[in-house]
Amino acid sequence: MSERVSSEAIYDSAASGAEDAVVADVVSAGAGCHAGAAELQKAAASAGKSEVLERYAQDYPKGPHDQPQSMCPAFGSLRVGLRMRRTATILSGSACCVYGLTFTSHFYGARRTVGYVPFNSETLVTGKLFEDIREAVFKLADPEHYDTIIITNLCVPTASGVPLQLLPKEINGVRIIGIDVPGFGIPTHAEAKDVLAGAMLKYARNEAEQGPVAAPRERSALPTITLLGEMFPADPVGIGMMLEPMGLAAGPVVPTREWRELYSALDCAAVAAVHPFYTASVREFEAAGRKVVGSAPVGRDGTAAWLDAIGAACGIAQDKINASKNKWLPAIAGALAGSPIKGRVTVSGYEGSELLVARLLIESGADVPYVGTACPRTQWSDPDRAWLESKGVRIQYRASLEQDIAAIEEFGPDLAIGTTPVVQHAKERSIPALYFTNLISARPLMGPAGAGSLATVINSALANKERFGRMTEFFEGVGSGHTAGVWEETPQDRPEFKARYAAKMKAASAAEEAVGT
């Protein structure tokens, strides 16, 4: 161990003792997964995380309600890390949370090990958890296998003030990045992707400012446009083709799949904020002197406006911009006309591309009265918001499940696109429905390819309306909720029993926490 690292170890040990009383209060108050967002935020602020939480509150403002109904936010940042080459990921949080996140990650195709540093009340109070994390990082920091190690504090370690910022920034040439991703501070998993992407961009920007950095595997001879936000693999290719007549090329997609791509992403002519909620990442690009353009080349109108905006940001002559528009806009218009969509569709989701999908549906001929997104309104989504509102679309940022369901009841769509519970609600009412994440966002949206990509799946779903009606008629009378099934005597709802058992469970939980303290 180097002298520098050894001196840090002494400092870390001393620092942890100063917060023992705060952490003890966190543990005794039961500030675990069930303590509630308000208690966890209060504990985290008391434990020295005020600056982090204030930054998150500015970057990811909440809506009229506390939090949209989304999966655990940490899944977003975890997924970003697991997709990167030569990158190790470590979680610090409650075992149940780590299990759920690991399961979900592998369900979505992760093929990497997820590291886990367990803890208990004693290691939280004594500061031993931080030392355990530090030990794990040193054991894992092998430059033969890794470029980067990412350590993520989940809710309880964040609320307890576990100071990941005191970890060494580099060990044996391996970069160390520690982030806090608490469910009570980050509203959605989509925005948690930005937490990690922004942290990595900041680290890479500092490296580039200090001297030469690793060259990318492939380097374009043309100025590049960095694409901000996850997208279907074919979309960057299509965007590159549209940029070529302007003397530009598509650059890396952020979040990247390899560390060295971060340098290329920063070394761009401009940034296209395809997903408009990457606030921390935008901050790093702007610190590097890069202009950021909102929206994306979806549909004919969207593509025309986007090419104009990119050209203006990069100082491209109008004749070159027109050359691209003349080449690609007729192709997009033809693809839209050749794959029309007829029907009323409501759109909701938590991926951040909901407004783009709605634009494409409308240009394909669909009637879209409502778009709900779990993400916040930002200046980078304003071009899409303005266009949609001009078409009479109601847009709900930070949409709740109740608002999305109310839109289905109000507008009676022929098809509902949304999250799992929204889809379930629609199908229970014999309305065809599609899961946004797996069936809509997992296909191209940009340029000519995107113009016709949605029509097949959308029209196929719309054609199922009659089948849903037959299914509803077939199952008529089997009941729902507590009466679901076939009964000789229909069960009677007994809410007083539920209330009684709920009170017993609450008392048992309180007694268990008292024993634990």
Torsion of CA 187, 192, 194, 196, to 10 degrees: 150
Residue with tokens 């001196």: 7
Could you tell me the fold of the domain covering 224-336? Answer: Rossmann fold (3.40.50)
Q: How far apart are CA 486 and CA 62, in angstroms?
A: 44
**Interacting residues of 475 by C-beta distance below 8 A, sequence separation 6+:** none
Q: Which amino acid is at 475?
A: F
Q: Can you spell out the DSSP letters for 443-480? A: S--SHHHHHHHHHHHHHHHHTTHHHHHHHHHHTTTS--
Select 340-472's CATH number: 3.40.1190.10, 3.40.50.300, 3.30.1220.10, 3.40.50.1980: 3.40.50.1980
Handedness of CA 235, 356, 69, 227 (dihedral sign): positive
Name the residue with tokens 């098809």.
Answer: 415
Q: Where are the domains of the chain?
A: 3-187, 224-336, 340-472
235 Cβ contact list (under 8 Å, min separation 6): 227, 444, 445, 446, 447, 449, 450
Taking a C-beta distance cutoff of 8 angstroms, is the pair 414, 465 a contact?
A: yes
pLDDT the model gives residue 34:
58
| Cα torsion angle, 214, 216, 217, 218, sign | negative
- At position 516, the amino acid (one-letter code) is G
Residue-level pLDDT at 497: 80
Token pair 């948690």: residue = 192
Q: What pLDDT does residue 35 have?
A: 61
Label the pairing between strands 170-171 and 174-180.
antiparallel
Give, for all 517 residues of the chain, the pLDDT tens digit: 333 333 232 323 333 444 444 444 554 444 455 566 777 777 787 777 888 889 998 999 887 665 556 678 999 999 999 999 999 999 999 999 999 999 988 887 777 889 999 998 888 888 899 999 999 999 999 999 999 999 999 999 999 899 999 999 999 999 999 999 998 889 999 999 999 999 999 999 999 999 988 888 888 889 999 999 999 999 999 999 999 999 999 999 999 999 999 999 999 999 999 999 999 999 999 999 999 999 999 999 999 999 999 999 999 999 999 999 999 999 999 999 998 999 999 999 999 999 999 999 999 999 999 999 999 999 999 999 999 999 999 999 999 999 999 999 999 999 999 999 999 999 988 999 999 988 898 889 999 998 888 898 999 999 888 887 787 777 777 777 777 777 777 788 878 887 888 888 877 767 665 544 4
The half-sphere exposure of 182 on its side-chain side, counting CA atoms within 13 A, is: 33
Residue 279 has a CB neighbour count (10 Å cut-off) of 21
What tokens does 499 get?
A: 């209330």
CATH of domain 3-187: 3.40.50.1980
pLDDT for position 467: 82
- In this prediction the pTM is 0.86
CA distance 140 to 174: 9
291: helix, strand or coil: strand
Q: What is the pLDDT of residue 19?
A: 44
Q: CA 303, CA 246: separation in Å to the nearest integer?
A: 14
